[in-house]
Amino acid sequence: MSEKICSKCDKTKPISDFYKRTDSKSGGYRKECKECLNKKKRVTSERWNNTPNGKSLKRNHLLKKRYGIDSMEYERLLKAQRSRCAICFELPKAGKRLVIDHDHSCCPQVNSCGKCIRGLLCRKCNVGIGLLGDSALVLQEAMRYLEDYGK
């Protein structure tokens, strides 16, 4: 079995004690072991949860990391859509937010560059267009199908 040295605790551990890298084309494993990385995440989470406006700091961090925008840009998009889903025009349910939809042909991974954001959608519409492969043609065929059956 292969081993690796953790860059944080300097201990030699089995490779199974390290997370696989998800952001690298070549594969490989993270520099820190699972134990050290999880400890670091707990500390960061506690810091965010125990500071005034910690939740908004965390949200802003995640928006930047995943979509390349900040909470002000999210709010601008939300205002432009009158706080409604860009497809069904429904308001989100109490306590829920609209999700950010981006063009997967630009950024096929979960994270977006920020330039390919299409709008904000309710979870139902986001899942729906995702399951239809983000294809306008398939969506048109689905519409035709429903119209043929009087819906």
Instruction: For the chain, list the domains and their CATH numbers.
Output: 1-48 (3.30.60), 51-151 (3.40.1800.10)
Lowest-confidence pick of 35-44, 68-77, 86-95, 97-106: 97-106
Contact between 15 and 2 (Cβ < 8 Å): yes
- What is the band of 10 on the pLDDT scale with cuts at 50, 70, 90? very high
Rounded to two decimals, the pTM is 0.62
Nearest to 66 by CA among 110, 126, 122: 110
